[in-house]
């Protein structure tokens, strides 16, 4: 016998209950009303499809509406504990900020600030000044500009300086990185005319010399990002590109990508080209990321010759991709760490990279002792974030042999805060390198709770 849909309570009748009043107090009347109506609509559909279903009590209907409200408003951008060992984990927000940078972000969001106000003159100012002087002092560049990410920085430079003009680039540098971002697509979007030279694995100085026999706006060197060509390969150095281009009056734009300001070799890693090296080589413009090896917020940083940066600043696209007050404020604090020679101590990613295997092993052993379970084994951490491809750091992890390891990972992700670990050789492993000291307690509590339910 089919259920009588007329027996369903009216929306207004449900709203008169104390349970609904509680929902209105928490979520507001409009959204509560929408949830109740959605639940009744869905209930009618189910009753029509399966006439044998019984009509729920009013409390059950409101419970379901409450679940809808919670689902609708559930925050999806939440802090997590990164126990994967990937230092610059793109999916987890890349670089965590220093304590001073976080304090700056908080102070800038709780009131007004001098984003575009000159305190000394009492008139409108420019947002570009907040990081520009620091970048000039740190790198020796004549001028600087900060935009919202490095893809925007590249697009802006090409749009401002090479629209409808030839841009020469090595075929080996036409990369695609995460999210389907492709260098050729960005170049085409800017209106520049892409001129590929050389082959996938071998590009010579003479290739650029021949290409520059015709007029060109600039020569672009693009960072290889997350891949490496090995074997029978060659590429001209940046110094050679500068020499060839400048002999013909052509600009050199170096897209560094990772934004390294410290020498990665001192940590046992391969050499990552630094901003200072690009400046020394004579690049006219350099763009790089703020949230990779720089260790700051998401940002695209452009430095170089004053006349070129001035043209970039005046382009209409500059407003569309400009950085906000949080990025500028946090970046300024991050740059200050480098100027004060305290980056290795204050910036989390450099503390993580610089932590010795012995220090990590000691932390892993403490975790094992607290849990009274698992084994500490040698493993490798990754730098990640499109920087230093295939480069790893020796580490030690706590490995747990648990049934259904992938299900265990799912339970970790459901913890509060969520814990992101990895499975290796059918073991659930936790790498202390990327777990901040203040997160240890929450991590161990989450693991204990899940182990207690197995």
304: left (phi over 0), alpha (psi -120 to 50) or beta: left
Q: Are residues 197 and 341 in the same domain?
A: yes
CA atoms of 62 and 33, how far apart (whole Å): 11
- Please check whether residues 243 and 190 belong to one and the same domain: yes
Q: Which of 313, 346, 379 is where one domain is finished?
A: 346
Whether residue 395 sits in one domain with residue 323 = no
Residues 397 and 313 in one domain: no
Residues 321 and 421 in one domain: no
Is the domain of 261 the same as that of 365?
no
Of residues 286, 300, 349, the one with CA closest to residue 328: 300
Which CATH number is 364's domain given? 3.90.1150.180
Is the dihedral angle over the CA atoms 343, 348, 350, 356 positive or is it negative? positive
Neighbours of 37 (CB within 10 A): 13
Asked if residue 288 and residue 158 are part of one domain, the reply reads: yes
> Residue 370 is part of which domain span?
81-89+349-451
Together in a domain, 109 and 224: yes
pTM above 0.85, yes or no: yes
Please count the structural domains in the chain.
3
Q: Could you say which of 346, 376, 398 is where a domain stops? A: 346
Q: Give the tens place of pLDDT for each residue, 358-402.
A: 999 999 999 999 999 999 999 999 998 777 767 899 999 999 999
Do 148 and 227 have their domain in common? yes
Q: Does residue 321 share a domain with residue 443?
A: no
Q: In CATH, what number is assigned to the domain containing residue 315?
A: 3.40.640.10
- 194 bridge partner residues: 167
Low-confidence residues in the chain, pLDDT < 70: 1-4, 51-52, 176-181, 225-232, 389
Is residue 184 domain-shared with residue 305, that is, in the same domain?
A: yes
Same structural domain, 341 and 195: yes
- Tell which of 346, 366, 384 closes a domain: 346
With the C-alpha atoms ordered 178, 180, 186, 189, is the resulting torsion angle positive or negative? negative
Closest to 444 (Cα-Cα) out of 382, 376, 363, 377: 363
DSSP letter assigned to residue 313: H
Q: Which of 79, 76, 85, 69 has its CA nearest to residue 31?
A: 69
What is the Cα–Cα distance from 139 to 155, expressed in whole angstroms? 22
Q: Which residues contact 60 (CB under 8 A, 6 or more apart)?
A: none
């Amino acid at each position: 016998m089919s259920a009588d849909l007329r027996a369903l309570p009216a929306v207004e009748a449900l709203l008169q209950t104390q349970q609904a009043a509680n929902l209105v107090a928490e979520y507001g009347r409009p959204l509560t009303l929408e949830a109740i109506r959605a639940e009744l609509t869905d209930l009618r559909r189910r009753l029509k499809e399966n006439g044998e279903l019984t009509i729920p009590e009013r409390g059950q209907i409101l419970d379901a509406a409450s679940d809808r409200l919670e689902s609708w408003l559930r925050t999806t951008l939440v802090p997590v504990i990164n126990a994967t060992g990937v230092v610059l984990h793109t999916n987890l927000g890349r670089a965590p900020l220093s304590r001073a940078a976080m304090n700056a972000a908080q102070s800038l969001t709780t009131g007004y600030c001098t984003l575009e106000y000159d305190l000394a003159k009492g008139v409108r100012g420019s947002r570009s000044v907040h990081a520009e002087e620091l970048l000039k002092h740190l790198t020796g560049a004549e001028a600087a500009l900060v935009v919202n990410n490095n893809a925007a920085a590249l697009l802006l430079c090409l749009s401002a300086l090479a629209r409808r003009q030839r841009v020469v680039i090595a075929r080996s540098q036409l990369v695609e990185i995460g999210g389907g971002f492709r260098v050729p697509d960005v170049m085409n979007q800017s209106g520049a005319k892409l001129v590929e030279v050389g082959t996938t694995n071998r590009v010579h100085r003479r290739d650029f010399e021949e290409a520059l026999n015709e007029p060109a706006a600039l020569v672009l060197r693009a960072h290889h990002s997350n891949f490496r060509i090995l074997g029978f390969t060659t590429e001209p150095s940046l110094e050679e590109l500068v020499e060839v281009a400048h002999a013909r009056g052509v600009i050199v734009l170096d897209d560094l990508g990772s934004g390294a300001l410290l020498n990665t070799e001192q940590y046992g890693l391969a050499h990552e080209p630094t901003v200072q090296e690009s400046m020394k080589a004579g690049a006219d413009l350099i763009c790089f990321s703020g949230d990779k090896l720089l260790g700051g917020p998401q940002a695209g940083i452009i430095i170089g010759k004053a006349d070129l940066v001035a043209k970039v600043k005046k382009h209409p696209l500059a407003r569309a991709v400009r950085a906000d007050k949080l990025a500028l404020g946090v970046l300024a604090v991050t740059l200050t760490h480098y100027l004060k020679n305290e980056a290795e101590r204050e910036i989390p990613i450099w503390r993580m990279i610089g932590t010795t295997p012995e220090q990590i092993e000691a932390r892993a052993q403490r975790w094992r002792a607290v849990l009274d379970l698992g084994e500490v084994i040698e493993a490798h951490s990754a730098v990640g974030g499109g920087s230093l491809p295939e480069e790893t750091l020796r580490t030690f992890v706590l490995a747990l042999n648990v049934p259904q390891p992938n299900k265990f990972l799912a339970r970790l992700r459901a913890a509060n805060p969520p814990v992101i670990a990895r499975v290796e050789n059918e073991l659930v492993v936790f790498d202390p390198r990327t777990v901040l000291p203040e997160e240890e307690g929450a991590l161990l509590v989450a693991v204990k709770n899940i182990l207690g339910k197995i």
